[in-house]
Each structure stands twice: as C-alpha cells, then as structure tokens.
Amino acid sequence: MKRSRINDIIAESDAMIRHYGFTLPPFANWTPDQFMARKDDARHVIDARCGWDITDYGDGRFDEMGLFLFTLRNGLLADLQRGGGMCYAEKLLISQQDQLSPMHTHVIKAEDIINRGGATLVVELFGSDDQGNFAEDKGGTVWLDGIRREFAAGEKLRLAPGESVTLRPGDWHAFWGEGGSVLIGEVSTVNDDETDNIFLEPIGRFADIEEDVAPTHLLVSDYRTWLA
C-alpha cells in the first residue's frame, strides 16, 4: 500500500470514529517525531502494539480485502500466561461495504465483535475439527449478546448496530460490511496479531508499504523500524 493512501485512510477513519461519538486517546494524534521523542514514556503502547493498523493482508486490494484497526489498549502475553494483570484488549475497526476480512481463527484470543454503528456487519462462521483446523462441514456455538446460538457451517450472521457476537478459539470467521461501512468494537483477551491469527489461505497480516510520502502517524507495524 502507498503511504499516501494509508494517511488518507487514517484521516477518513478518524472522522467516522468521531461521528459515532468516540474519541481516540492522545497518542493517536502524535506525529512520528512526537512518538520518537516520547518513546520511553510510551513503552507499553509500543510493546503492546497499540495504535493505528491498516492492512490489505499483503494482497494489494484494500477496498476488496482489507481492514482498518486502532488498538486502544492491550495487555501482554506474559500477564495472560501467568493468569494475572492486564489480560484484556480493546480495538476499534472499520469494515467498508463488501470489504472482506478473510476467514481466520485464533489459538488464544476470545473476542466480542460489536457493531458500534453504521451499516450491517456480516459474520460468516465455520467450526473446527478436534485439532482446531477449519471444517467446512461443521458448525458450532457462539453467543449473541450473551444468548447461546448454534450455527451451521457457512452460516452468515447479520449484526445491526448495538448487536454483538462472542467468538472463541476454533470459531473460524470472516466478516464484511453490508449496505455501507461499519464501525466495529472488539473486546478480547490479550491480542497478538503477529502470531495468533490463523488464516485459512496463506496470506499476510500486515501490508507492505510503499513510502511515497511521509507518514502523518505511525502504524503499529512501523514501531520496530521507527522506534528501535
């Protein structure tokens, strides 16, 4: 993805987030220079990979297959492993109309996916076999706003604003907006996007960036190179 396009997506997404009554934390507004100047104070933000995240899954077709994310808060895997401390995470996501977030599951993370505003959020579901592998003929169980719901293989849930689904490890899922863009909330156990996204197809989690202009804000995938 071109950095200029990423800068535009950040600006457009921030406007949509504000439209639905959310305000991002102060570090969301830092320039790269401000981030570098405060990197010692912001060590947890960096280590937990909080912040801006835009992906085309390495495929180069953001409008067809991609996702905007902002990680608001995130614990560390060490806390989760010892069973104490900051064992949770929270994100905001935006899925555009018919913009696919491809089929995947998680080994560790359980998550509530919440329609925070906009159009309809479609979530396609499949179950897994005894080893957690994708099973095209198996359904499973999820919870819709805390209410148990059995799903058939390939079933598509349609979540209106205010509705949510709870997904657990082994629940294979893909999602997209229907009828327009959707602001999505995610509340989960500790989030590790580098190792805990298991995709059905061999795709990448992060975008390859062409630096045609300077970044207005750093992505979480920039931290290692910019803030080392």
pLDDT tens, position by position, 193-203: 888 999 999 88
Instruction: Give whole-number Cα distances, 101 to 29, 87, 93, 192, 201, in Å.
Output: 26, 25, 11, 17, 12
pLDDT of residue 122: 98
Res. 35 pLDDT band, cuts 50 70 90: very high
Evaluate whether 4 touches 62 at the Cβ level (below 8 Å): no
Domains in the chain and their CATH numbers?
3-226 (2.60.120.10)
**What confidence score (pLDDT) does residue 96 get?**
98
Dihedral sign, Cα of residue 23, residue 79, residue 163, residue 10 = positive
Q: Are 177 and 121 in contact (CB under 8 A)?
A: yes
pLDDT for 55-101, tens place per residue? 999 889 999 999 999 999 999 989 989 999 999 999 999 999 999 99
3-state secondary structure of 205: coil
Residue 61, pLDDT score: 94
| pLDDT tops 90 at residue 206 | no
Query: What is the arithmetic mean of pLDDT over 156-179?
Result: 98
Residue 152's identity, in one-letter code, is: A
Q: How far apart are CA 111 and CA 88, in angstroms?
A: 10
- Confidence band, pLDDT 50/70/90 cuts, at residue 205: confident
